[in-house]
Amino acid sequence: MRLLLIRHGQTPDNVIGALGTTAPGARLTDLGLRQAEALPAALAAETIGALFVSTLVRTQLTAAPLAAARGLEPVVLDGLREVVAGDLEMRNDPAAGAAYMGTVARWVVGDRDARMPGAESGHEFLARYDAAIERATADGHDTVAVVSHGAAVRGWVGCRVAGAGGTFVRDHDLSNTGVVVVEGSTTDGFRLVSWEGTPLGGADLDDPTADDPTGEAPADVVDAAARP
C-alpha cells in the first residue's frame, strides 16, 4: 500500500521557531490556510481511501480542504502527534531547537534510549507512532494520507523506512505541507518512494523567513546525529 505522510500547514509557532507540541496547539497562519487549500489540487492524482490526522488542531485544519474535496471523514489518532518537547515546550532559542532535533536525530541513527528532556524516549515515540500507522493502514486501502508533524514524520521515516535511515532525514528539509511517500506494510516494512520537502502547492507557498527547527535541521544536529 501507499502511504502519504504530509506535514501540516504553517502555524505562528513555526514562524518564530517555538516548539509547541501540546494539544490543542496553534492554529494555521494565513499562509498555512493557503497551503492547506492547495492540497486537493496537488494530490489530484492520488486515489486516497482514508485520511488520518493527529490530536493537534493544525493537522485537522490542514486536512479539512482535502477531506471536503474527497468526501472523507478525517480520523483522529493520538499517536500521530508531534514529538513531545517536554522541558523544551514553547522555547524558541537555538539551543532548544538543537536539543530537540538533535534528540530525534539520535533516534534515527540508533540511540532509541535517548530521551527528550522531560519527555519521551525513542522507544516510546516509535511505539505510539507505529501503533497509529498500523491503525491507519489496517483497512486495506491502496492509498492512505496522514497529516502529521515535522519532527514526528522525520523521526518515524528515518527509523522505519528503508532508504531513509542514517543521515538522510537530517539532510532533507520538510517544509509545511511537504510530503513523504512510502510504500509497503507494517508487516513487511516500508520503502521510501519520494521525499518532497517543499509545500505541495509549490515553492511559492513556502516561507524561507520562518525560523522553523522541525522543518530544517540546525547545524548542531549534524553533531548530535553523529554521536554514538
Spatial CB neighbours of 167, under 8 Å, sequence gap ≥ 6 = 109, 222, 225
Q: Is 172 considered catalytic here?
A: no
CA dihedral sign, ordered 91, 96, 157, 46:
positive
Look up residue 165 and give its DSSP letter. T
Integer Cα distance of 185 and 174 in angstroms: 23
Catalytic residue among 8, 120, 172, 216: 8
At residue 194, φ and ψ (nearest 5 deg) are: -160, 155
Q: Is 149 an active-site residue?
A: no
Which residue in the list 82, 120, 172, 216 is annotated as catalytic? 82
Cis peptide before 228 (omega within 30 of 0): no
The residues annotated with a catalytic role in the active site are: 8, 82
